Structure 1
Amino acid sequence: MCQYIGIFYEECNHVRFKLHNFCLDLFHELQRINNPEERETHALPFDPDTPGCEPYALFDENGLPETRDAPGTGNVLWWVINLSEVCPGCEVVRVG
């Protein structure tokens, strides 16, 4: 399972995930597509079909990320709570 760092933007209540660590399934798939022989036999872009590689987390009734460390609560290692900025998508809307 891939692991992520979650960024919660309090100003706009949006969440962004940054990849922290590849899982072995995704790592092997990336190695496969870098192999010239394998690249010729499989179409690109690739779909690793590993649902555990997608970021997932639990949120409470207020929309805030759950920070408890229990099995099944997600693959986000830790959260960064950004109190002073909006997410990059909202920043583009503000400026544009």
Structure 2
Amino acid sequence: MARRRGNKLLVGVDEEGVLENTYKLTCGHVFHEFCIRGWCIVGKRQTCPYCRERVDLKRMFTNPWDGPHILYGQLLDWIRWLVAWQPLVLLLAQGFNWVLGLE
């Protein structure tokens, strides 16, 4: 439940009246923990949304179980790239085989 008005981030209160966990970046900006994680992991932007200062992911993810999520995301990105460019890769491989006479 975060809203942005001008240069201010409004931190919301959930249904039980408890403030959500926040995370302070090295630049001083404060975000909901899951908002900034989503920005960095899902959005693939490792900079502060306001000032574009680089976010230190190692400092953010102190839990050792968070590491596999980042690696899994990178693996999925590589697989998506491979699937998207598969026709070109196959065409280049066929052309390479044709040039070398390996048909």
Same fold by TM (over 0.5)?
no
Indicate the structure whose relative CO is greater, using CA pairs within 8 Å and at least 6 residues apart: 1
TM-score in terms of structure 1 length: 0.24
**Structure holding more helix per residue:** 2
**Structure holding more strand per residue:** 1
Q: Which has the larger radius of gyration?
A: 2
